[in-house]
Amino acid sequence: MNRYDCIIIGAGVIGALCARELSKYKLNILVLEKEIDVGCGASGANSAIVHSGYDPVPGTLKAKLNVEGNKMYEAMCKELDVQFRRIGSITVANSEEELVTLAELAKRSEANGVPYKVLDEKELKEIEPNITASAKGGLLCPTAGIVNPFELVVAAMENAMDNGVSLHLAEEVVSIKKDNGFIITTNKGEYFAKYVVNAAGVYSSKINDLVNPHTFSVRPRRGEYYVLDHFQNGYVKHTLFNVPSDKGKGVLVSPTTHDNYLVGPSSEFIEEFDSVRTNKDVLDNVRTNATRLVDNIPYREQITEFAGLRAVGDTHDFIINEADGFINAAGIESPGLTASPAIAKMVSEFIKDKEVNPQFKPSRRKVIRMEEMSIEERDALIKKDPKFGRIVCRCEAVSEGEILDCIRRNCGATTIKGVKRRCRPGMGRCQGGFCQAIVLDILAKELNKNPEDIMYANANSYIVLGPTKEGK
Ligand SMILES: Cc1cc2nc3c(=O)[nH]c(=O)nc-3n(C[C@H](O)[C@H](O)[C@H](O)COP(=O)(O)OP(=O)(O)OC[C@H]3O[C@@H](n4cnc5c(N)ncnc54)[C@H](O)[C@@H]3O)c2cc1C
């Protein structure tokens, strides 16, 4: 049986950043992930906002770790070469009643130590010309930002692996036995670990039940979105929020790090733990709520829809604790993405007597992003390697060279969606209609697999099943 100092269950943003944080120490670490790629849970399907912290109830872990995490983003994203922009957020009030809630949120910002400015109607409409005509005022929080969340998971895991962490994909934890440490059984084998970190997202209460039965519960609450193409730079400049309610932060309209626009999410408790389908009625309701932010959103620019599952704990706060070496980072709903670097630090502090790893490298190799290069830089790169001159994705202008790079790294892509989320072929208007077959071919050749063995996103998402004709 392989022995580890620490086994982390789940490779979302929490598992990946815990792995990276712990790789700063001389520890033998394994990450177990049931899916065939990292970031397949909530961490890859959310609003991508680095919240300022104006909203969580003061004194909660959510409030504390949100504000701490927010402050860590610049340095972390610089080290990991992850796209992040501090664009600020505005919570928009549409009625006298909502202006009262806004004043309460301003007090909450104060209590949480979050900078803010209350905007009157005129100031709001000057800053955001496309804001709804019915807007009466707003709460501007300049420290809010936007990040590429899937890239953050990949980057954190890649860097953790560069620093010696092992990652086993397609390996599901099915039982855990306490035995002077923990014996962890998966669908593939058995391991021993002194410490276990439960970072299993929506499944985190099921993992906790294996060790401490029924101490808390976590339920999935689905959020559905529209994604609009990058049709106009600065259509909205900040993340615009509805005034929050007991169902969460409400709907937002926000730019993404690639200047697409997100409209969503909805908020519905569901029974299934893996259902990320979208529904017309729910999305119609999102549209109605979004009109309270921006009039006449151009839905003809919509290129796709998606849904993510929030891990809602019954304690109404993050569940982060340790007992006898079993560490919960459970029920990490919003603002979990924001809080993730601070959560990783907190988890690391539970592991005692660890020695610093003097070889720890904080940065990963820079990502090759041709979209950010000058013509001269592109020209030089293409001269060095002509594959950077072969454009595979016409919508997002992604080259074969960039696709190969994202496959060849630690924590590299092995699926169509893995490539799409790492370097964007298929993210544009045609959603892979033109480039998917080429990406499949590149993956098969690069991974030395049959095309039939390349999956779209998860273990059974076959794309091609076999030849339809013999010969030519
Ligand atoms: C709709 C929506 C919008 C959100 N918007 C924001 C936002 O704008 N800003 C913000 O800060 N936060 C936001 N969040 C919250 C944020 O996305 C989450 O807090 C964060 O991604 C949680 O990360 P995680 O690693 O805990 O969970 P996940 O990303 O879900 O990862 C858990 C992983 O554990 C794996 N796993 C589960 N069971 C097992 C097992 N038995 N064996 C092995 N592996 C297992 C899963 O496959 C999964 O990969 C949003 C969430 C949602 C759903």
Does residue 322's CB lie within 6 angstroms of at least one atom of ligand 1?
A: no
Let me know whether 301 and 379 are in one domain. no
Contact 96, 136 (CB under 8 A): yes
Let me know whether 397 and 288 are in one domain. no
Let me know whether 385 and 300 are in one domain. no
Residue 431 covered by a domain:
yes
Task: Provide the domain count of the chain.
Answer: 2
Using the mean position of ligand 1's atoms as its centre, give its distance from the Cα of residue 6 in Å. 20
Let me know whether 274 and 388 are in one domain. no
Let me know whether 390 and 304 are in one domain. no
- At residue 322, the pLDDT reads 98
What is the number of the ligand 1 atom nearest to the C-alpha of 200? 34
Let me know whether 103 and 237 are in one domain. yes
- At residue 248, the pLDDT reads 64
What is the number of the ligand 1 atom nearest to the C-alpha of 309? 53
- The number of C-alpha atoms within 13 Å of 29 and in the hemisphere containing its C-beta is 30
Let me know whether 290 and 422 are in one domain. no
Which of 283, 308, 333 is the C-terminal boundary of a domain?
308
Does residue 69's CB lie within 6 angstroms of at least one atom of ligand 1?
A: no
Separate counts of helices (H) and strands (E) for the chain: 12, 22
- At residue 212, the pLDDT reads 95
- At residue 227, the pLDDT reads 97
Which of 308, 332, 362 is the C-terminal boundary of a domain?
308
Residue 258 covered by a domain:
yes
Q: What is the domain range of residue 120?
A: 84-145+222-308
Active-site annotation, residues: 51
Residue 411 covered by a domain:
yes
CATH number, residue 123: 3.30.9.10
Those residues whose C-beta lies under 8 Å from the C-beta of residue 470, and which sit 6 or more positions away, are none
Structural Rg of the chain based on CA atoms: 22
- At residue 247, the pLDDT reads 61
DSSP annotation of 172: -
The structure tokens listed for 449 are 């697999």
CA distance 341 to 347: 10
Instruction: Please report which residue ranges of 163-257 form alpha helices under DSSP H.
Output: 204-209
pTM: 0.97
DSSP annotation of 366: P
The structure tokens listed for 147 are 């990040």
Let me know whether 374 and 298 are in one domain. no
Taking each helix axis from N to C terminus, what angle separates 336-350 and 61-80, rounded to the nearest 10 degrees? 90
CA distance 138 to 118: 6
Does residue 94's CB lie within 6 angstroms of at least one atom of ligand 1?
A: no
Using the mean position of ligand 1's atoms as its centre, give its distance from the Cα of residue 353 in Å. 29
Let me know whether 235 and 117 are in one domain. yes
Let me know whether 120 and 228 are in one domain. yes
CATH number, residue 437: 1.10.10
* Local mean pLDDT, 10-residue blocks, the chain (472 residues): 96 98 98 98 98 96 98 98 98 94 96 97 96 96 98 98 98 97 97 98 98 96 96 95 78 96 96 94 95 94 97 97 98 98 98 96 96 95 97 95 98 98 93 94 98 95 87 60
Using the mean position of ligand 1's atoms as its centre, give its distance from the Cα of residue 427 in Å. 21
